[in-house]
Amino acid sequence: MIAKENATEEKAIAWRLIERIHGQTEAVVKHRPDWRTTPKADTSVLMTFSKTSQLFYDVSKKDLELFASYRRAFIIFLVGSHKDVFIVPTEVLSEHIESHGLNASQEYGDYKLHLIRDYRGSSFRELPSLNLAPYFNQYAQLL
């Protein structure tokens, strides 16, 4: 029997794991519950979810620009579960987006990233040089 993927439940579990590391997190703005900062506001975390059958993420160009103002900033890509995540520093993601010359969509201002998992490992189709292996389930880097 395949477990049903529930974005709300999986995000809640992942936030509890993060709060074990940092303590209580705070939403930056009320209408963005998946963007939080640590109590000292020096670390920014954005969480995004995709079902394993879709493996598709939108990353906002504006968000990446906003996150640059934080000393430490991460995007957490949940792949159907809090146990299957890539925790990528936004600085690294931004550098790869820039080096590949990706353009944000004109309609929404975001980058469309499709996760590829095969015998070579994991990467985004649009950013093949970004090896995601070092970021797999690396909650500890949030310390």
Tell me the whole-structure pTM to 2 decimals. Answer: 0.92
Reported confidence tier of residue 1, pLDDT bands at 50, 70, 90: very low
Question: What is the chain's length?
Answer: 143
Residues 40, 53: Cα–Cα separation, whole Å: 37
| Distances, alpha carbon 98 to alpha carbons 29, 40, 93, in Å | 27, 29, 9
* Residue that wins the pLDDT comparison between 99 and 143: 99
> Of 7, 88, 84, 9, which is closest to residue 49 (Cα–Cα)?
7
Q: How far is CA 47 from the centre of its chain?
A: 5
Q: How far, in Å, CA of 18 to CA of 142, rounded?
A: 8
Reported as a single tens digit per residue, the pLDDT across 97-114 is: 999 999 999 999 999 999
Fold category of 7-142 in CATH: Trna Endonuclease; Chain: A, domain 1 (3.40.1350)
Q: Which of 30-39, 61-70, 82-91 has the highest mean pLDDT?
A: 82-91
**Cα dihedral 14, 18, 24, 30 sign:** negative
Residue 29 pLDDT more than 60? yes
Indicate if the pLDDT at residue 35 is higher than 90.
yes
Radius of gyration of the chain (CA): 15
The closest alpha carbon to 122, from 62, 79, 74, 63, belongs to 79
